A and B are shown apart, each in its own frame.
Chain A
Amino acid sequence: MSRFPDVLKALAAATLIAPAAFAQDAAEAPEGGFGLGREATTEEVAMWDIDIRPDGKGLPVGSGSVELGEEIWSYNCAHCHGDFAEGIDRWPVLAGGEGTLSDDRPVKTIGSYWPYLSTVYDYVYRAMPFGYSQSLSPDDVYAITAYLLYSNYIVEDDFVLSNENFSEIAMPNEENFFMDDRAETELPQFTAEPCMTDCKEQVEITAHATVLDVTPEDGGEGGGGGID
């Protein structure tokens, strides 16, 4: 005679049929919220909210010339990015590369690839120089941005960039970006029931990793394509 009542047996059977039991009751908030946290002061928001958008939203008042930018650049940026933003070692190349995007080895720079100038200002202001973030003044960043435009032949050497004329600068590659379209262009093609038996007559090896031999343990010198 079993020591377990029938109801437990039935439960065990049901569990076998549907073994996945992952409780997912959604956490809810009361009407009107919890009242947690405190209001941010205007000053606190101003200190942290330094991001810039393509429409110029967020730009601080200020200006900087190509000439001043070149000087600031040589002290703060050239060490990694090179005197002419050509990039040193594997540090990002920021100038040149025009017309290479469909080449075998495209060179993606501010001039050849980046769709918006605001991205340059936003990033330099918050995250550069590497290892000394947020040490540059708004005017410094206008100047560096102006110098990068000059390095990419987008402005002349007497150009002065400011919050006033910032939005007038259009980047050459802006139109070549488009919204993710995999749902239309790829997913229908990749949802067919695949072949399971006798799918190919011959199988040949077409590429070997050992040809490049860049796996770290092997001490390879490497570099058949980076991650960014």
Chain B
Amino acid sequence: MNDIFKGMKPTRRSFLRGAAAASVGAAAGGAARASSDPAFAEIQPWMQELGDPVDAAPYGMPSEFEAHVQRKTVYWLTADPISSINFTPLHELDGIITPNGLCFERHHSGAAHVDPALHRLMINGLVDRELVFTMEDLMRFPRENHVYFLECAANSGMEWRGSQLNGCQFTHGMIHNVMYTGIPLRLLLAEAGIQTAGKWLLAEGADAAGMTRSIPMEKALDDCLVAFKMNGEALRVEQGYPLRLVVPGWEGNMWVKWLRRLEVGDEPWHHREETSKYTDLLADGKARRFTWEMDAKSVITNPSPQAPLTHGAGPTVLSGLAWSGRGTIPRVDVTLDGGKNWHQARMSGPSLSKSMHRFYFEFDWNGQPLLLQSRAHDSTGYVQPTKNALRELRGTNSIYHNNGIQTWHVKKTGEAENVEVS
């Protein structure tokens, strides 16, 4: 748009700008501004001058004052940044929906840039008709909209041996919660016709890792989606554009991105991501396999090590997130004293099955140290356990599925640290 006006002198915009600059001088020379609050000390430029034109950012970005709100990696976790992970800044977010650009990333051979015109979804194996769909074909199937959390099974995996990372972004940030638009997987499978021997499904990605996972048919026919939108817009590249599998409530690794193939079989495949990885090694050297469901979990996002209390004693908002792979979260308990006494938090916002839930606990901080914890209850009656209760059952070598209660030690200064308590 701006180009059209180039060469026309003066443009209406440049004229208005000039007028605005002139009036700054006029105002400054006028009445003295009497306030010790810098917000009142002078007329701020945004109060006087014109803002951006409508097309300054054809795809809008957050305010420059929010530039610190970013996904972050922990560089020593993985061998390189290609087969790696970064973390959602949970302490900067509120409500239950994760903005698309802040959803944590986990790739095994980098984020593939797939041309949708050359993307195909194949269904093969124990089906009546082996089929190939274009993206255009898929857009003609009925769609559903659902909000689900996706949590990496390794979320909090660095904390098995004790407090390690200072910040809920790092201890709990391998999770995001978005609204998916997608085709119920059962409709696609019905189109191919599942044979009676077909009890398992192999989902495969189109990236160079060719990510594969075995999924029991019962789950595939229950609530899985083949999704192409997240929060209303196309999937982000790093979330599997143009097509990903949604496996509600189950570990994130199964939500195959860049989904290109679904094979129906009579047995599981026991591929790399379900044998050498994503199996839970217990203290006795034996390992659980197929630990698909994510146990109920919660974390206080504010205050937390990256989000200290800066306001001193007085009214204080404690906030956090809770979720369960088995249903909703009707209740979260919060303690300020390391578990001596608990209080029911206030749930706020949509309570959807296998979605994040937001909770608040408002209190009058006396300025003394706090030991904050939250404890989720899910709709099956499951109560989030302590980390030590999990260690007693599993040891400390599991890596995956650490849903133990998190403790933040808030000091008198308002700074917070990741600790564990007796």
Chain A residues engaging chain B, CB cutoff 8 angstroms: 20, 22, 24, 26-29, 33-34, 36-40, 44-45, 48-49, 51-55, 80, 89-91, 101-102, 106, 108, 110, 113-116, 118-119, 122-123, 126-127, 130-131, 133-134, 176-182, 185-187, 189-212, 214-216, 218, 221-228
Contact = CB atoms under 8 A, between A and B. Distances in A.
A22 B147 CA distance: 10
Given A20-B350, A191-B382, A209-B418, A51 B286 contact: no
A218 B306 CA distance: 12
Interface residues of B, number: 113
B141 A227 contact: no
A203 B73 contact: no
A215 B183 CA distance: 40
Contact of A209 (B83, B163, B193): B163
Nearest to B183: A27
A122 B270 CA distance: 10
Interface string B371-401: 1000100001111110001000100010100
A10 B2 CA distance: 53
A204 B132 CA distance: 60
B141 A36 contact: yes
A122 B269 contact: yes
Q: Which of B77, B184, B204 is most buried by chain A, counting CB atoms within 10 A of its CB?
A: B77
Given A34-B140, A205-B421, A209-B419, A224 B122 contact: no
A53 B270 contact: yes
Given A102-B284, A207-B419, A224-B158, A36 B163 contact: no
Interface in B180-205: 183-184, 187, 190-191, 193, 202, 204
Interface string B168-188: 001000000000000110010
B257 interface: no
Nearest to B409: A205
Interface of B: 72-79, 82-83, 85, 108-109, 122-125, 129-134, 137-138, 140-144, 146, 152, 154, 157-158, 160-167, 170, 183-184, 187, 190-191, 193, 202, 204, 208-210, 212, 260-261, 263, 265, 267, 269-272, 275-277, 279, 281, 283-293, 295, 305, 333, 337-343, 350-352, 371, 375, 380-385, 389, 393, 397, 399, 409, 417-422
A177 B163 contact: no
Given A204-B421, A205-B409, A227-B399, A127 B210 contact: yes
A181 B133 contact: no
A104 to B, nearest CB: 8
Contact of B184 (A26, A114, A214): A26
Contacts of A90: 76, 78-79
Nearest to A27: B142
Q: Which of B124, B183, B210 is most buried by chain A, counting CB atoms within 10 A of its CB?
A: B210
Given A51-B269, A108-B281, A224 B161 contact: yes
A48 B350 CA distance: 41
Contacts of A101: 281, 285, 287, 397
A114 B275 contact: yes
Contacts of B421: 203-206
A209 B380 CA distance: 33
5 contacts: A36-B138, A51-B271, A119-B270, A202-B422, A214-B74
A203 B270 contact: no
A228 B154 contact: yes
B422 A27 contact: no
B131 A37 contact: yes
B203 to A, nearest CB: 11
A207 B163 contact: yes
B270 A45 contact: no
Contact of A196 (B165, B288, B333, B384): B333
A178 B138 CA distance: 38
Contacts of B74: 214-216, 222
Contacts of A222: 74, 76
B322 to A, nearest CB: 15
Contacts of B263: 49, 51
B79 A177 contact: no
A102 to B, nearest CB: 4
